[in-house]
Amino acid sequence: MDMSISTPCATGDASPAFERKGVAPIFGAIDLGTNNCRLMLGVPSSNGFRVIESFSRSVGLGEGLAETGQLAEPAMDRAMDALKSCATRISRYRLTGLSAVATEACRRAANGAAFLDRVRQQTGLEIRIISGREEAELTLESCSPLLRGAGSRALVFDIGGGSTELAWVRLCSGTPTLISFLSLPFGVMTLGACTHHSCFTEEGFDAMVETVEERLWEFEDIHRIGREINRCGVRLLGTSGTITTVASVALKLPRYRRPLVDGILLPGEEADAAVETLRAMGRTGLAAHPCIGEDRADLVLPGCAIFAAIRSVWPTAEVGVADRGLREGMLLRQIRGGGGRRREQRRHLGARPLASAAASPAG
């Protein structure tokens, strides 16, 4: 297995100004997604940043969204509890900056903005809804170290809970430049509602693949990525729980280990075989698998269907795997942003002191 693009957990290049001053600013990032709520705190380092605290909880914020167009009260309660826990953790530090974003569930829900206003009032956290384009840009920023030496083009995909982002990228002197992006309204929580079939049947899985393929071919017709694959090669790089699960199965890991997964290059046929292995497990087998578990058993195959559609349209020889995403991209953007950006991010701490949120019961 080619491990040549394996990199440390902290990614990117730190701003040398922080090291010259001999200070240790702390930056924070919150990613409120359709399925998960995640927090990461880090300090700049020679490799980009060093993680000092990390938190992730499955909250299912997008549960029922496809049917009602609204965030459900139980889902909002779960997300609020997780965000209170984030606020409690943040209150232990003196942050230089905090970036907090929400993605597809809050983008799509009619009551998404109202929920985030409640979050601000109860926790002091100011969370902004970002576009699909910014989501793709942040993911690309976090994954850029894995694209060094990858050739002239890359296609980066992020299979999320409520949407899937693809970034078509030009690589010049190791610096990724976004050519175009695609944000699909299909994620591991929402794809099933678009097809109304069970992912655990052959018919249902194939219907999911076809639904996604139809949108991907539209993107292919515009950008002719397949031609670039045949002419000079394209690095296909995925980041999400789906692709890291596929990699874990391909590597036959007894339990998930990030250092063995983040940054590897999987031969395409091994990645495809791992998808078939996951399909053959059935729900009981997926729930029992140590790299998956009961909480994710219903989400793995919709993600695999999206991945299978990507592989069908763009069958590259290899697939890069990244265990990093929005949080890492947000931290790197703050670290590289300089003083003006840091002042902007301080406003995300909110007028309400975060210490007051620590008094709220953590989720």
Residues 171, 172, 177, 182, CA torsion sign: negative
User: Euclidean distance between the first and final Cα of the chain, in Å?
Assistant: 40
- Judge whether 16-131+334-357 and 133-322 match in fold: yes
CATH class of 16-131+334-357: alpha beta
pLDDT band at 205 (very low <50, low <70, confident <90, very high): very high
pLDDT band at 349 (very low <50, low <70, confident <90, very high): very low
pLDDT digits (tens, 9 = 90+) for 114-150: 999 999 999 999 999 999 999 999 999 999 999 988 8
pLDDT band at 174 (very low <50, low <70, confident <90, very high): low
Q: What are the extents of the domains in the chain?
A: 16-131+334-357, 133-322
Predicted local confidence at residue 160, as pLDDT: 94
Question: In DSSP terms, which residues pair with 128 in a beta bridge?
Answer: 101
Residues 203-215 have a mean pLDDT of 96
Angstrom distance (rounded) from CA 191 to CA 197: 10
Predicted local confidence at residue 23, as pLDDT: 63
Angstrom distance (rounded) from CA 35 to CA 290: 20
Residues 48-62 have a mean pLDDT of 94
Question: In DSSP terms, which residues pair with 98 in a beta bridge?
Answer: 28
- Contact indicator for 174, 145 with CB cutoff of 8 Å: no
Predicted local confidence at residue 92, as pLDDT: 96
- Contact indicator for 194, 288 with CB cutoff of 8 Å: no
In the sheet that holds 175-184, the strands lie side by side as 175-184, 164-172, 153-159, 235-239, 318-322, 265-267
Angle of helix 112-123 relative to helix 73-90, nearest 10 degrees? 40
For the segment(s) 133-322, the CATH number from 3.30.930.10, 3.90.1200.10, 1.10.1200.10, 3.30.420.150 is 3.30.420.150
pLDDT band at 3 (very low <50, low <70, confident <90, very high): very low
pLDDT band at 46 (very low <50, low <70, confident <90, very high): confident
